[in-house]
């Protein structure tokens, strides 16, 4: 059972928590749940109002819906919830805040956009609440299908269109990131993500990026073992696990990368616990509303979504809504 020191100080009543198994998975991954204070824990007021917030170290965000429960027998009430994992104290009254969002950000890849109306598509994404854009750069050489997407000129136009509030990364699927990253920095990206398989001296690249005020990311192909990145993980702002072979949008998700994601999650969590950098964990390829919750469970901070967000079936907002809904627990 998680350790709940703060709750012992509350004068009245409580509590139960971890209502759905996915919440428990988050708890298990991120360590003990801490309940405290009016907005970050469980508290009961003098009146009929009480609320329950479950907070883990990854800060699950509660949303506004509340479901009041007036149990004649609180224990019965609790046992009617299959996923309640613990409770203690004398329970008099519970309002169960039953919707929580798994804390994973979504960033669009624009590869499936109609480039003639790219500006409008990006506006629609920003209007729908997107705060991070993922720009997939391919040079006609490095990816297996030898395709070309776009380069710094288009990224510069996107930056000018969205202003400085939106975070932009560029995912460089190119042979010479070490020689050309500065062009992307000058185009206005906040972060350069380069492939570990395509860079000779990654620590040097990180240091050059940081000197220029650009964040550094390292990406691993689905078959690339995780070991190579661990030595410089403390200096990375982001590590990206590819869940498709780089080259195009719309491919099928490779679930076997889950093990690698878990190893990285643990390494990053222990790095953060020891006062180190809060390196972000990203996944890219084949993410849609049917598997977004799965990768959020693995501990991914940011998921790149291309064809699941920009397609002919629905608007960006509708697609984003359905992904967000899939992250409700």
Among ligand DX5, Zn ion, none, what binds residue 305 when CB lies within 5 to 8 Å by partner kind?
Answer: ligand DX5
Contact positions with Zn ion (CB under 5 A) in 273-292: 284
Q: Which is nearer to Zn ion, 136 or 237 (CB)?
A: 136
Closer residue to Zn ion (CB): 286 or 299: 286
Residues known to be catalytic: 136, 284
74 vs 247, beta carbon nearer Zn ion = 247
Torsion from C-alpha of 150, 281, 40, 297, nearest 10 degrees? 110
Q: Of the two residues 27 and 282, which places its CB atom closer to ligand DX5 in the complex?
A: 282
Rg for the chain, CA atoms, rounded: 22
C-alpha closest to that of 62 among 91, 90, 93, 20: 20
Closest CA to 297 of 2, 16, 1, 28: 28
Task: Kindly state whether residue 125 participates in binding ligand DX5, applying the rule CB under 6 A.
Answer: no
Q: State which of residues 250, 259, 273, 277 lies at the interface with ligand DX5 (CB under 6 A).
A: 250
| Sole window of 44-52, 57-65, 182-190, 240-248 interacting with ligand DX5 (rule: CB under 6 A) | 240-248
> What's the rounded Cα separation, in Å, for the pair 224 and 242?
9
Picked from ligand DX5, Zn ion, none, the partner binding residue 236 (CB below 5 to 8 A depending on kind) is: none
**Residue found under tokens 């799965």:** 294
User: What is the spatial distance between Cα 308 and Cα 109, in angstroms, rounded to a whole number?
Assistant: 10
What string marks each residue from 297 to 316 as x (binds ligand DX5 by CB under 6 A) or -?
Answer: -------xxxxx--------
Main-chain dihedrals φ then ψ at residue 285, nearest 5 degrees: 120, 120
Contact between 136 and Zn ion by CB under 5 A: the answer reads yes
Q: What is the contact mask toward Zn ion in residues 170 to 209, using x (rule: CB under 5 A)?
A: -x--------------------------------------
User: At a CB cut-off of 8 Å and minimum separation 6, what does 221 contact?
Assistant: 195, 197, 242, 245, 246
Give the span between the Cα atoms of 151 and 250, in whole angstroms.
21
- Residues contributing to the site for Zn ion (CB under 5 A): 136, 171, 284
- Residues contributing to the site for ligand DX5 (CB under 6 A): 109, 111, 136, 171, 244, 246-247, 249-251, 284-287, 304-308
């Amino acid at each position: 059972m998680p350790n709940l020191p703060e709750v012992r100080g509350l004068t009245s009543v409580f509590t139960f928590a971890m209502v759905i198994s996915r919440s428990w998975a988050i708890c298990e991954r991120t360590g003990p749940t801490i309940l405290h204070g009016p907005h970050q824990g469980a508290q009961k007021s003098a009146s009929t109002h009480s609320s329950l917030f479950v907070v883990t170290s990854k800060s699950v965000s509660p949303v506004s819906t509340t479901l009041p429960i007036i149990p004649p027998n609180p224990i019965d009430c609790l046992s009617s919830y299959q996923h309640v994992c613990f409770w203690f104290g004398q329970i008099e009254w519970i309002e169960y805040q039953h919707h929580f969002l798994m804390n994973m950000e979504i960033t669009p890849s624009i590869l499936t956009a109609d480039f003639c109306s790219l500006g409008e598509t990006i506006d629609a994404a920003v209007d729908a609440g997107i705060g991070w854009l993922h720009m997939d750069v391919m040079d006609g050489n490095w990816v297996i299908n030898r395709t070309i997407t776009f380069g710094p000129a288009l990224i510069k136009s996107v930056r000018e269109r969205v202003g400085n509030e939106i975070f932009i990364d560029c995912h460089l699927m190119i042979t010479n990131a070490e020689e050309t990253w500065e062009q992307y920095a000058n185009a206005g990206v906040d972060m350069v993500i380069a492939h570990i398989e395509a860079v000779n001296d990654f620590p040097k690249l990180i240091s050059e990026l940081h000197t220029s005020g650009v964040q550094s990311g390292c990406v691993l192909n689905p078959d690339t073992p995780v070991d190579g990145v661990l030595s410089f993980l403390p200096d990375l702002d982001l590590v990206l696990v590819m869940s498709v072979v780089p080259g195009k949008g719309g491919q099928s998700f490779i679930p076997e990368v889950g093990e690698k994601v878990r190893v990285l999650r643990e390494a990053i969590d222990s790095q953060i616990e020891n006062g180190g950098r809060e390196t972000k964990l990203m996944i890219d390829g084949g993410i849609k509303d049917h598997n977004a919750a799965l990768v959020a469970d693995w501990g991914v901070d940011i998921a790149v979504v291309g064809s699941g967000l920009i397609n002919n079936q629905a608007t960006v907002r509708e697609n984003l809504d359905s992904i967000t809904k899939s992250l409700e627990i």
